[in-house]
Amino acid sequence: MSAGGKTERVYLALGSNIEPERHLRQAVAELRARFPILAISSVWRTPPVGGPGPDYLNAALGIECELPLRALKYRVLRPLEAAMGRVRRKDKNAPRVIDIDPIIFGKDILDPEIWTQAHLAVPLAELLPGLVRPLTGEGLASVADLLRHTADIQHISLSL
């Protein structure tokens, strides 16, 4: 997908807890049809954050994108989620067929929870182990390693 703009490396967090194997595979296939894929993490099972519900399967995906962040989010990712059956509810932690969030855009970290949430840190660290937290100098690989041993997260053998 080209908008004639600067190409950025973008890292996306993907999650699903409704038929997650099928929906993660479908999301990756849809994204692959739209963007050059740089890397795909392993899949990780985590409990839901902020509410009850089935466990999530989570992954991270790196793409190259020429769209500005807002266009990526509202012209591609949100419509893709909707086409896959995602219904946005008042409860932002409600179960969902798919969640696709940009977490790094170029050099900008969009979601500071990559440093505290296993469902984000562990998959992303597979793709960007050398990423450093600007204020503390802490590396994502070490954060992910700590979370892998202290959080309820499990590696899943699922090919995307």
- Nearby residues of 73 by Cβ (< 8 Å), 6 or more positions away: 102
Q: Which of 32, 55, 101, 145 is catalytic?
A: 101
Whether 143 contacts 125, CB under 8 Å: yes
Whether 99 contacts 15, CB under 8 Å: yes
Active site residue 86: yes
Active site residue 152: no
Expressed in percent and rounded to 5, the helix, strand and coil fractions of the chain are 35, 25, 40
Active site residue 99: yes
Active site residue 34: no
Active-site positions? Answer: 86, 96, 99, 101
